[in-house]
Amino acid sequence: MAPSVQSEASSRRGSDAKSDGSASVDSGFASGNTSTANLPLVSFTHAHLKYLNKQLEDMNAMDILRFCRLLFPNLYQTTAFGLTGLVTLDMLDKLYKETPGSKPVDLIFLDTLYHFQETYDLVERVKARYNVDVHLFKPAEVETVAQFEELYGEKLYEVSGELYDWIAKVEPQQRAYAELNVAAVLTGRRRSQGGARGSIPVIEIDEERGIVKINPLVNWSFPQVKAYIDEHKVPYNALLDRGYKSVGDWHSTVPVGEGEDERAGRWKGQNKTECGIHNKKSRYAQFVQAEAQKVTAA
């Protein structure tokens, strides 16, 4: 069974912000609307962001997390319960115990409905181990694989991968950010994972989605992550003991071969390294946006 939904809807980002005509700044944070009523909860100048990243580059992960918990309002951790995310979760739990009256960092989990059963089992073990709320978001208007395939047909992930990514991942993520009024998210991305992740900074601005992304373990290697998991006895996905290193949907994840990159088991044989939630908008997402703009203009 998949974990139950624990999220509650709240107002959209910036909906409570007051309009101030003098607030024209080089925020380093692009917005689809120039009205100051829609400015994000956190903004930086480009120079300030560059300075912060330079300072954070050599800081250890625990101190990065300490800093981010103080700096960012409405901070969440978005996770599919991979090893890096689990390290971050364990560190946050330790930090919360240092200051038990502080605001905890809740989790956002995108349930595509196609996760491995081992992933759902891990979610329950994490909830039992840590005092953390998991906000679960599924594809809109469906609760089961049967309902999903009744709407979109079987194997949509093969028929139209971009459409699948939009329905199962991108739209639920956007809905999560809006309903939870998210300002910033902690991710599990690391440079050692390669591909587009090879040059990411600690803090980056996702201008398309209107949030700040923080990559607290950006400098860690896979062996460092696994060593932390073992040392601190952090619960992890049972698939890791069967040759998997990066775990996503069951239909697009296979074990990693000897000497292969840790994400080599994702979308094997496809010209694809990301699912749409961390990269630029897919053609389908661009189409949806264009259609929405036509309706607004009409």
Which residues are annotated as catalytic?
Answer: 275
Contacts of 281 (CB under 8 A, 6+ apart): 208, 289
Inter-residue contact 135 to 3 (CB < 8 Å): no
The Cα–Cα gap between 86 and 15 comes to: 32
Distance CA 19, CA 3 (A): 40
Q: Show the tokens assigned to 211.
A: 């949030």
Residues in the chain: 298
Q: Which bin fits 111, alpha (ψ -120 to 50), beta or left (φ > 0)?
A: beta
Burial class, 79, CB count within 10 angstroms (exposed 0-12 / middle 13-18 / buried 19+): buried
Q: Three-state SS for 244?
A: coil
DSSP state letter for 169? I
